[in-house]
Amino acid sequence: MFADLAEQLRIREQKGLRRTRQIIDSPQASHITIDGRDYLAFSSNDYLGLANHPELIASACDGARRYGVGAGASHLVNGHSAAHHDLETALAAFAGFPQALLFSTGYMANIGMVTALAGREDAIFADKLNHASLNDAALLSRAQFIRYPHCDLAALEQRLATVQARRKLVISDAVFSMEGDIAPIRRLIALCERYHAWLLLDDAHGFGVLGEQGRGSLFLPENTHSHSHSPNLVYMATLGKAAGVSGAFVAAQPEVIETLIQSARSYIYTTATPSLLAYALLTSVRLIEQDEWRREALQRNIAQLKQGVRSLPWKLLPSNTPIQPLLTGDSAEAVRISQALREHGILVPAIRPPTVPQGAARLRISLSAAHWPEDVQRLTDALHELASA
């Protein structure tokens, strides 16, 4: 048994696909410390620079004094505190939905949401570049699992029109985590309404960053007239990325939220997230709403990076989000560049199969409002140096 595992690990290592963990000795920020060495980090999803914000730290401490450290039980026993309840109310209002429900992680939210709404007699239609959690959820549901080419709505419509099922669910990232592009949300909603399907939208990388006051992808100008009152829409966003803390929430119509409370196993059968985190997130939502300068700084960093890498031999994929993928194609090349940047004191992760398709390895550059212009310049200078070496 162990020899078989060792051989699989050897093969993974040989293909340049073995991953390793690194131990951070500092708070999450644009500059971090690993093993006593300081690095400029373009590897975090802390898009607004809130993960180490002093007001969030103070709120977490205040929340710990009020509620203690552990929730002690699941939400349906006696782990559901006033902080959880207040945060759900605030998130529902902020996202423009009647109700919201907290989950411990985005992965658990997707698993619970999909498996509660789809079963053996149903069909799930999924974008081929969806996050792994959505794919795993679809498989666990035991529904018919039908994938369509990335953002190809003609192909999706053909499948919706021909497949017979008790219930139809379309599941899609809003911002695709490895591409940085944005789903055609308004057209997806129109298709789902036409074919009486649910649309489950994962906005993990849009919430806090995109749209009016950072309310997410649904509040981009092209989507603002088609989101909040569609009964077909079920929305999920995470709280450990732009929000800077931890967890996730699902927002939808009351009947959907009550169904999740009664049937979502990843909600029912787990201890509630510590109340102190929910208490801190109330401060995070306020900062997201009021600190427009953070999104403005982020957009300036995105524009500067795009300008700085134009003449590189590696292609920057089209994205107007903090996720800026620099395509190398070859996994070994992605690892080589990532390691060389690390020697320059810069962290940019190499993304390889199976996270991305074969031949589509890349550097995933994650920008933050916490990066200064000189930080972005340092990265582009280092990339140009490596390209000319």
Residue 274 sits in a domain whose CATH number is: 3.40.640.10
Helix (H) or strand (E) holding 126: strand 123-127
Shared domain check, 41 and 72:
no
Q: Residue 388's pLDDT band (boundaries 50, 70, 90)?
A: confident
Q: Which residues are catalytic?
A: 177, 205, 241
Task: Pull the structure tokens for residue 361.
Answer: 């390895």
> What would the pLDDT profile of 243-276 be if each residue is shown by its tens digit?
999 999 999 999 999 999 999 999 999 999 999 9
- Dmax over Cα atoms in the chain, in whole Å? 61
Of the candidates 257, 290, 323, which is a domain's last residue?
290
Residue at 177 is within a domain: yes
| Residue 222: predicted pLDDT | 84
**Per-residue pLDDT, 227:** 46
Q: Is the pLDDT of residue 50 over 60?
A: yes
Task: Examine residue 13 and state whether it is found in any structural domain, yes or no.
Answer: no
- Residue 4 in any domain: the answer is no
Q: Pairing between strand 168-173 and 123-127?
A: parallel
C-alpha–C-alpha distance, residues 344 and 161, integer Å = 53
CATH for 324: 3.90.1150.10
End-to-end CA distance of the chain: 45
Q: Would residue 12 count as lying in a domain?
A: no
State whether 266 and 299 are in the same domain.
no
Q: Are residues 83 and 140 in the same domain?
A: yes
Are 318 and 278 members of one domain?
Answer: no
Overall domain count for the chain: 2
DSSP string, 184-228: -HHHHHHHHHHTT-EEEEE-TTTTTTSSGGG--GGGSTTTTTSST
pLDDT at position 4 is 94
The whole-number pLDDT of residue 389 equals 74
Where is the binding site for substrate, in residues?
A: 19, 131, 355
Question: Residue 117 domain-assigned?
Answer: yes
| Residue 15: predicted pLDDT | 78
**Are 184 and 266 part of one and the same domain?**
yes
Any residues with CB less than 8 A from the CB of 354 and at least 6 apart, and which?
Answer: none
The pTM score is: 0.94
Structural domain harbouring 153: 54-290
Q: Are residues 302 and 374 in the same domain?
A: yes
304, 360: one domain? yes
| Residue 254 counted as domain residue | yes
Say if 303 falls within a structural domain.
Answer: yes
Domain boundary among 275, 290, 305: 290
Looking at the fold, whether 189 and 299 belong to one and the same domain comes out as no
Q: What is the pLDDT of the chain when averaged over all its residues?
A: 95
- Considering just the CA atoms, what is the radius of gyration of the chain in Å? 21
15: in domain: no
Across residues 32-38, what is the average pLDDT?
Answer: 94
Same domain, residue pair 134 and 235: yes
Enumerate the known binding-site residues. Answer: 19, 106-107, 131, 177, 205, 238, 355
Last residue of a domain, one of 290, 320, 345: 290
pLDDT tens readout for residues 102-135: 999 999 999 999 999 999 999 999 999 999 999 9
Do 94 and 179 fall into the same domain? Answer: yes
Residue 300 and residue 236 share a domain:
no
H-helix segments, the chain: 2-14, 54-67, 82-95, 106-117, 132-141, 153-162, 185-194, 254-263, 265-268, 275-290, 292-308, 331-343, 373-388
231 and 314 in a single domain? The answer is no
